[in-house]
């Protein structure tokens, strides 16, 4: 049986308290005037210098289970704070952060989540609100590609069972839309992208969206390369339906009026997801998704096989879909001095 993440972290010397709740919640707020929140049962709060206008951040005292516990916590905050004091809604400088507990999961389930999350991250950013695009406090991977290096660092050390080396520097990764730094501190992955909503119904739906991604990632039989193979079979809209499950309706409603389709948003991150899915096979390479150009595979069979053998010690045709994407991109950069992205297609020219 695969070891749980909490056991690996404890054995590596990380002093993490084990808990069974599904989510932690942080709500940043600003208000029209100063107020005293008083004592709350489920929440603590503190002044936050990054916020304006009497800014307070409310933090759950402990993680809660999905469903009724989450609803109870949100209702306390809503009735004791939101409905009593004049809070600003959707302030540019506030946000809602959700911590997803991975302590009781396996490493493969967490990597499944990373592949799935980054496939749909651009959708999540659009759902989070227009002010969250390229926001310096929640940068998505396509705007802060350095985060890929952190993901690769984690997966490489997981693959080599070097759990003591999993930590990432806070300054380099804290403000990513998916903050990985809390993995070795709390055992969580923190999603930072949601705008500063005060409507607890939206918060609850957002939490359900994130848990739906985790539910998919922890489903029986799912593995990183398989997610990319599923994408190949179902296409971007199909994989979105599978990953988001019952919350796809909320996603679709939130994207009404968007200039980009779900397919376009997913395809922009496809290469990153492929890198992560096959990260335990090779050292990290450069990245990029330039303009598309079609090339027939047959013309470059030898080159494709050479790179395939170098990276995976296997012929190109035997690679998984995710691994082929990586090899295709490497050859694409070699073939195009102007960095036109190559799409390899079957058939003779």
Quick one: fold of 5-272?
Answer: Creatine Kinase; Chain A, domain 2 (3.30.590)
d(C-alpha 226, C-alpha 212), whole Å: 18
Interval 232-265: pLDDT, tens = 889 999 999 999 999 999 999 999 988 899 999 9
d(C-alpha 321, C-alpha 92), whole Å: 40
Which letter, b or e, does each residue of 13-34 get, where b requires 16 or more Cβ atoms within 10 Å of its Cβ?
ebebeebebbbbbbbbbbbeee
CA diameter of the chain: 73
Interval 157-204: pLDDT, tens = 888 888 999 998 888 788 889 999 999 999 999 999 999 999 999 999
Per-residue pLDDT of the chain (349 residues; tens, 9 = 90+): 578 999 999 999 998 988 889 999 999 998 888 889 999 999 999 887 777 788 889 999 989 999 999 999 999 999 999 999 888 888 878 899 999 999 999 999 999 999 999 999 999 999 998 877 766 677 888 888 888 999 999 998 888 888 999 998 888 788 889 999 999 999 999 999 999 999 999 999 999 999 999 999 999 888 888 899 899 889 999 999 999 999 999 999 999 988 899 999 999 999 999 989 887 643 333 222 233 455 556 677 888 888 888 888 899 888 888 788 888 777 776 765 444 444 555 554 3
What value does the CA radius of gyration of the chain take, rounded to a whole number of Å?
21
Q: CATH 3.30.590 region(s) of the chain?
A: 5-272
């Amino acid at each position: 049986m695969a070891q749980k993440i909490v056991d690996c972290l404890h054995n590596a010397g990380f002093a993490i308290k084990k808990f069974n709740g599904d989510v932690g919640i942080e709500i940043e707020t600003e208000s029209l005037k100063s107020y005293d929140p008083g004592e709350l049962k489920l929440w603590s709060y503190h002044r936050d210098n990054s916020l304006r206008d009497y800014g307070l951040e409310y933090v759950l005292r402990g993680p809660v289970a999905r469903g009724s516990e989450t609803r109870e916590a949100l209702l306390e905050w809503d009735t004791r704070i939101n409905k009593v004091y004049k809070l600003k809604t959707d302030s540019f400088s506030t946000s809602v952060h959700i911590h997803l507990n991975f302590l009781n999961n396996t490493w493969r389930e967490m990597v499944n989540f990373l592949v799935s999350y980054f496939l749909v991250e651009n959708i999540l950013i659009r759902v989070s609100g227009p002010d969250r695009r390229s926001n310096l406090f929640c940068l998505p991977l396509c705007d802060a590609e350095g985060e890929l290096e952190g993901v690769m660092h984690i997966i490489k050390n997981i693959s080599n069972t070097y759990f003591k080396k999993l930590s990432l520097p806070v300054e380099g990764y804290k403000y990513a839309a998916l903050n990985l730094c809390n993995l070795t501190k709390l055992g969580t992955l923190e999603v930072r992208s949601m705008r500063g909503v005060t409507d607890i119904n939206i918060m609850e739906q957002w939490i359900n969206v994130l848990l739906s991604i985790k539910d998919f990632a922890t489903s029986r039989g799912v593995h990183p390369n398989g997610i990319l193979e599923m994408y190949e079979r179902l296409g971007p809209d199909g994989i979105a339906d599978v990953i988001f499950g019952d919350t796809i309706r909320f996603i679709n409603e939130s994207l009404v009026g968007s200039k980009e389709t779900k397919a376009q948003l997913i395809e922009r991150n496809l290469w990153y997801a492929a890198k992560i899915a096959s990260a335990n096979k090779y050292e990290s390479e450069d990245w990029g998704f330039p303009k598309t150009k079609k090339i027939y595979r047959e013309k470059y069979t030898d080159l494709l096989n050479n790179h395939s053998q170098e990276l995976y010690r296997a012929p190109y045709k035997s690679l998984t879909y995710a691994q082929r994407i990586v090899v295709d991109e490497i050859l694409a950069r070699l073939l195009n001095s102007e960095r036109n992205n190559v799409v390899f297609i079957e058939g003779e020219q």
